């Protein structure tokens, strides 16, 4: 996917999680890129929760903002501390 290719080309330390067709890439505390997002459940400067086909992805940190959102992709910028997947609605 083009969004991930752009971000990973500039990435430092980071990690990746995936489940049920969804994917999240955590990049060195600077941002989190999400794939196969169905919607935004909640958002604040400390937490962003995205809906997936099965479950949710929760991004926590400080000074968070949604830098990009559309076509199933989302990019959360700011001081990202953790990215967690949870099952269920």
**CATH code of residue 24:** 2.60.40.2000
Going by the DSSP 8-state scheme, the letter that residue 1 receives in this structure is -
What's the domain count of the chain?
1
Full residue range of the structural domain in which residue 65 is found: 2-86
Could you read off the pLDDT of 1-35 as tens digits, one per residue? 455 555 545 545 556 666 667 778 877 678 999 99
19, 21, 27, 31: CA torsion to nearest 10 = -110
Among left, alpha and beta (phi > 0; psi -120 to 50; other), residue 18 is beta
Biggest alpha carbon–alpha carbon distance for the chain: 33
For 7, the 3-state DSSP assignment is helix
Model pLDDT for residues 68-80, shown as the tens digit of each residue = 999 999 999 999 9
Question: pTM, whole model, 2 decimals?
Answer: 0.78
């Amino acid at each position: 996917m083009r969004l991930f290719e752009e971000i990973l080309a500039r990435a430092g330390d980071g990690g990746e999680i995936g489940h049920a067709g969804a994917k999240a890439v955590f990049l060195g505390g600077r941002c989190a890129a999400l794939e196969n997002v169905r919607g935004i459940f909640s958002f604040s400067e400390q937490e962003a929760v995205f809906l997936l086909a099965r479950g949710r992805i929760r991004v926590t940190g400080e000074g968070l903002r949604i830098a990009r959102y559309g076509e199933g992709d989302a990019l959360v910028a700011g001081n990202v501390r953790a990215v967690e997947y949870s099952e269920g609605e």
